[in-house]
Amino acid sequence: MELDLATDNGQPRPETTRDDSPFAIRGLTVSYGDKPALFSVDATFPAAAMSAIIGPNGAGKSTLLKAALGIVKPVSGRVTMLGQPLKRALDRVAYVPQRASVDWDFPARVIDVVLMGLSRELGLLRRVRPHHLDKAMTCLARVGMDGFADRQIGQLSGGQQQRVFLARALAQQAEVYLLDEPFAGVDAATEKAIIGVLKSLRDDGKTVVAVHHDLATVTEYFDHVFLINQTRIAEGPTVETFTAANLQATYRGRLALQQIDRLAG
Ligand code: ADP
Ligand code: MG
């Protein structure tokens, strides 16, 4: 049977609404007190793809993710996750915050951090059964951290902590994965481990969206890019969108011209 995708008035849905996107933002405006951070931002992130959010420091990248998750309250705008308002889809969204924003002194073992990702399954009594532990250990193994289950999270290196937080996100078995600078301050081995896991999520049909600051790896890592500097500058497939002109518009003179030429055509 063929599905009729026409709207009520018989016209095909215009491409711009794309309500079937797993993660879409419309008219998002955010202000901290009277200091505006985002102006009427529209964004549409595709399924089964890795998307990068790119822009200079202070461009509002972290704010975009936080507002999309309801952590920061927007002035206006609408977020749909998996075709539903945010509230109804939150348990299918996993978030790995910027590492610098996490308090690493809280006393918790690595395995406990990963078990937090299973809180929906653990229920209110939080009774951990053997199969929960198995699941948590499987997630730790996927990021190469299964040998560290009993260590205190605060005693790990930055890269190891980042892997544990990715394992927690994996335990959630989400459809949409939002990561804020997952490669910031990690060693090369961790970067490779993380990108491998993210690509396998993408290949399983998940939606992966990461704030990314290393322009040199954008083409290699990401299928889709979203360029932002308080407003949306451009979005689309990396090959078409990660261009010198778009980078200039995004960084407004904050990148040297030769640098831009080297990165994008
Ligand atoms: P990015 O992640 O792109 O570097 P942010 O989203 O962190 O940018 O910040 C965007 C702007 O909002 C910056 O000017 C920043 O100083 C400001 N900002 C971010 N968080 C807060 C906050 N909690 N209170 C006040 N201003 C903030
Ligand atoms: Mg940030």
Give me the chain's average pLDDT, please. Answer: 88
Nearest alpha carbon, ligand 1 atom 11: 58
Residue 19: the pLDDT is: 58
36 lines ligand 1 (CB under 6 A): no
Q: Which residues surround ligand 2, an ion (CB under 5 A)?
A: 61-62
Dump the DSSP string for 80-141.
EETTEEHHHHGGGEEEE--GGGS-TTS--BHHHHHHHTTHHHHTTTTPPPHHHHHHHHHHHH
Kindly list the distances between the CA atom of residue 195 and the CA atoms of 96, 138, 182, 189, 235, in Å, as whole numbers in the listed order.
Answer: 14, 18, 9, 10, 21
Half-sphere exposure for 41 (CA within 13 Å, toward CB) = 35
61 lines ligand 1 (CB under 6 A): yes
Residue 230: the pLDDT is: 97
Atom of ligand 1 nearest to the CA of 61: 3
User: Would the CA dihedral through 169, 170, 174, 178 be positive or negative?
Assistant: positive
Residue 257: the pLDDT is: 61
Nearest alpha carbon, ligand 1 atom 7: 62
Nearest alpha carbon, ligand 1 atom 14: 58
Q: Which residue has the tokens 């290699």?
A: 220
How far apart are the C-alpha atoms of 80 and 25, rounded to whole Å? Answer: 7
User: With left for phi above 0 and alpha for psi between -120 and 50, is residue 217 left, alpha or beta?
Assistant: alpha
Kindly list the distances between the CA atom of residue 256 and the CA atoms of 52, 88, 246, 260, in Å, as whole numbers in the listed order.
Answer: 21, 44, 14, 7
41 lines ligand 1 (CB under 6 A): no
Q: Residue 248 C-alpha to ligand 1 middle, in angstroms?
A: 21
Atom of ligand 1 nearest to the CA of 64: 6
The model carries a pTM of 0.89
Residue 128's Cβ-count burial label (10 Å; 0-12, 13-18, 19+) is middle
Query: Which residues in the chain land under pLDDT 50?
Result: 1-18
Residue 86: the pLDDT is: 84
**Per CATH, which fold does 23-263 belong to?**
Rossmann fold (3.40.50)
Q: Residue 226 C-alpha to ligand 2 middle, in angstroms?
A: 14
Across the chain, how many H-helices and E-strands are there? 11, 10
How far apart are the C-alpha atoms of 256 and 161, rounded to whole Å? Answer: 33
Residue 2: the pLDDT is: 37
